[in-house]
Structure 1
Amino acid sequence: MSMMDTISTEKFYGNKIQKRKFNSNVNWVKTYRVMPSHILGPTQYWEEFHRQVDALTAAAECSTKQDTLCIFAYQRPSDGSRRFVVAHPEVYWWYYKAKPQEERSSYEVIPKDSPCWLYLDLEYLVELNPLCNGSRMTKTLIDIIRVYLLTHYHLLCDRNNFLILDSTSSTKFSRHVIFTMKDMAFKDNLHVGKFIKTIYNDIMLYLNSDTQSHGILSQFNKADIEELLVETNHGKKLFVDNGVYTKNRQFRLYLSTKWGKQSYLTVSADCIHNPVNKCKEKELGVFLDSLISYFPNKQNLILLEFFNRSDVKTQLYSKIPIQYNNMDDNQISPYPEIDEYVSNLVDPGKIRIAKYSDKTKILRYEIYGNR
């Protein structure tokens, strides 16, 4: 056989090769050019689901140390119904960027109990706040958060650690702000929520009191802090949405718009963000940096915990013990030490079923994800 001859996949692997079946009849990937694959590239895994819970399970089971899979939700242009996709972010980006702009209505699902970056959803109605300067307000809030991070975690950061995405329209100021720092994350978005809500409450208490001393906030001009208050249909509030820190939250993606609208999230003109994911394709780097829960190398992560202002901790992700009580009953045996040993032995594979026979004293494991 000459070096120029080609061998079909069927001949190379045999006739038993199987193609992955999708759990949804709707598969918009099929309408676009297939992403080229190479040996050092991300896994081409792609599954679509009707239910979010199924997507969360698949992402947890099929992610490996080499390939971290994420959950994305997209809305169908026809009726706005949502489908859930499990894929590597680079693979999702390949097909996502090819979609017509008006069909880009996608969200990242932030899994509960998963590391995530600090993120903010900032908004106010333009009609009720015609004199507000959203850019200046964003900078003030970022600077306040920087001082809180320094005070509670001794973490020194700059404005270029904050990625600012903007989808402001003629009727509504709207921004997403994401704090990005290599190998640094909050333990999960509930801890982010407690941290941001503490800052929110501190600001409200400071502005509603006669005192001029507050420690952290007294380092700022009080008039600048007062600018963060906006008029709403329910009275004055800060322009921070505190409702985005719930379990398995869906957070709109870079370049996406809400279904039926034309307000796309793009990099703000006043953003001076320093990329964490440096890619040849600049837009891909922005996309990866904008993902709240994407950390391809979790073992090096330093996790920030915030229970309250007097209970603040940091720890390495790799030091968090394995919680076997969160596993399904069929994944554990009466011997958790052996389970852990086998689990480490077959990594990046996982234990699907552990079977123990009292009669024969044999412990049998069924493994997947490892040849």
Structure 2
Amino acid sequence: MEAIETQSFYGDTLAVWRSKIFQELQHGILLSVKEPHKMPQRIMGPTQFWAEFHKQAEALAVARQHDNSNDVLGTFVYQNENGHRIFVVAHPEVYWWYYSQKSPECRCSYEVIPDGAPVKLYFDLEFLIDQNPNHNGHRMTKTITEIFCAYLTKLWGCPCNESNVLSLDSTTREKFSRHLIFCIKEVAFKNNIQAGKFVKSVCKDITNYVDSGFKGSDVLDFFDRKNLKELFIKTSENRKLFIDTSVYSRNRHFRIYKSTKWGKQSHLVLSPHSKYISAEECKDKDLGIFLDSLISYFPTKTNLILLELDEKNVTDIEMYIKRSSQLTPPQESTVKSKYPCVDKFISNIVKPGRIRLSTYFESTKKISYEIIGNRYCDNIGRPHKSNNIYLIVDLHKKLWYQKCHDEDCTGFMSKPKKLPEEIAFQLEDESDEILSSIDNFDLPFTNE
């Protein structure tokens, strides 16, 4: 009996069916064949919250609504098999769990950097290799890293080096491409607009320094002028620095670790030249890199120091303190309050530490003093290892007491102490009807 060929028996239907199955497997959407493993729940693990949206505004609103000190949610966007973008609100660990199970060619995903959110300093460095054949991308990246570390130290006294900088690479034969994320513990920029302002300011310094041909910069004088000139690349239009300064726009989409652009095979992976050392140990190395690479993800914002530049490029810093929307916003946040006698008293108490920031609350007639250099906490009877303290002065009751930002000390308030009589006497002149009518309550600072 003559054997019948498969093609003759089934006709063209088999070929079409095989092609369809192959395509679906390639795109990782045939759930009946490859069902993603469900993330196991842990008692102390992240929330399993997951929500998808077609509109970015809806996703960001839900992320803000559900975000709290225990579950810091992120907003991500991915492209499906049709190229359409879907927005996801989830805890970063949960998002990574499902994202990492996708086939490599389907990992087309981005972090949405929310407008106004604190961010790490980040860079997108790239140039076309054919147009810049003599440029050494690794050397250029190293120069950029060292320059910005030097500026951070100069402007804010924030020491950092290559071990604080996570370097991700997606270089191809056509284009050199790196992402740099500065992971400095408890330090961030107030938002990505401020981060962009800082980057553009330094870029302007570099351009003026190289173009002028003169020395005189207390940062750039330490760098080889040849290496500084190499930072400028040729494009189809002009000559410019190889830093992409367009990535600091509001609600920016920034490609995440191991992701590729749609239709391309240029995955963002750990650079072989990266000298980054994570401050937090993670059993899953890839998960650790992913979490560290996120621009707007901070597991806790309690002690986060926010950097910014004002309109005249003058540096400033403040602490991130998330308050309930019912609280009256502070009237003034400066190093010195409008009560110099109180400032001097607090300064003497916290020595060798000092006042980093004072915030005056008009509705309660209280001053909050953020302290650095002295972390002694009455609750534990010793200094905290990493969390700072703050002192509250109640101008109405003429009392002062200590609180701190450590999660273990949530709700703690030291035993109130009276202000010295000479200070209380000076404050009597400030009393008025409004001051005397203030209710007897303490401002509920939150540790979020």
Q: How would you bin the TM-score normalised by the shorter chain?
A: 0.7 to 0.9
Q: Given the alignment, which residue of 57, 60, 63 partners 1:56? A: 60
Per the alignment, in what secondary structure is the counterpart of residue 139 of structure 1? helix
Task: Verify: 1:282 aligned to 2:278, yes or no.
Answer: no
Alignment of 1:169-188 (within 5 A): 169-188=172-191
Of 44, 47, 50 in structure 2, the residue corresponding to residue 43 of structure 1 is 47
SS in 2 for 1:120: strand
User: Match of 2:96, as an amino acid?
Assistant: W
Of the three residues 202, 220, 225, the one matched with 1:222 is 225
| Residue 266 of structure 2 is aligned to residue 263 of structure 1 | yes
| Cα deviation digits, residues 45-91 of structure 1 (max 9, x gap) | 000000000000000001111010000000012x2110000000000
Determine if the alignment matches structure 1 residue 105 to structure 2 residue 124. Answer: no
Task: State the partner residue of 2:80.
Answer: 76
**Structure 2: how far apart are the matches of 1:307 and 1:111?**
21
The reply on whether 1:124 has 2:127 as its aligned counterpart is: yes
Cα 1:61–1:179 change in 2 (3 A) is same
TM alignment of 1:140-151, pairs within 5 A = 140-151=143-154
Once residues 310 and 105 of structure 1 are traced to their aligned partners in structure 2, the CA distance between those partners, rounded to angstroms, is 37
Partners of 2:168 and 2:281 lie apart in 1 by 18
Partners of 1:96 and 1:34 in 2: CA distance: 12
User: Equivalent residue of 1:245, what SS?
Assistant: coil
* Residues 44/27 of structure 1: CA separation in 2 closer, same or farther (3 Å cut): farther
Name which structure has the greater RCO, CA cutoff 8 Å, separation 6+: 1
Among candidates 213, 218, 225, match of residue 216 of structure 2: 213
CA distance in 1, matches of 2:241, 2:30: 41
- 1:281-360 equivalent positions in 2, closer than 5 A: 281-307=284-310, 310-318=313-321
Q: Does 1:189 align with 2:201?
A: no
Change (3 A) 1:324 1:211: farther
Is residue 240 from structure 1 mapped to residue 239 from structure 2 by the alignment? no
Deviation at 1:276, TM superposition (A): 2.9
Residue type of the alignment partner of 1:209: S
The alignment of Structure 1 onto Structure 2 pairs a total of residues equal to 301
CA shift for structure 1 position 169: 0.3
Q: Following TM superposition, by how much is the alpha carbon of 1:178 offset from its aligned partner in structure 2, in angstroms? A: 0.3
Which protein shows a greater Rg?
A: 2
Are 2:162 and 1:162 aligned?
A: no
1:112 match: secondary structure: coil
- The alignment-based identity, stated in percent, is 47
Deviations along 1:77-136, one digit per CA (max 9) or x if unpaired, are: 2x2110000000000000000000000000000001101100000000011011110000
Q: Decide whether the 8 Å contact of 1:119 with 1:176 is kept in 2.
A: yes
TM-superposed CA distance for 1:324, in Å, is 6.3
Any gaps of 5 or more consecutive residues in structure 2?
A: 1-28, 329-362, 365-448
Q: Which among 71, 85, 90 is matched to residue 88 of structure 2?
A: 85
Give the Cα–Cα distance (whole angstroms) in 2 for the partners of residues 118 and 27 of structure 1: 39
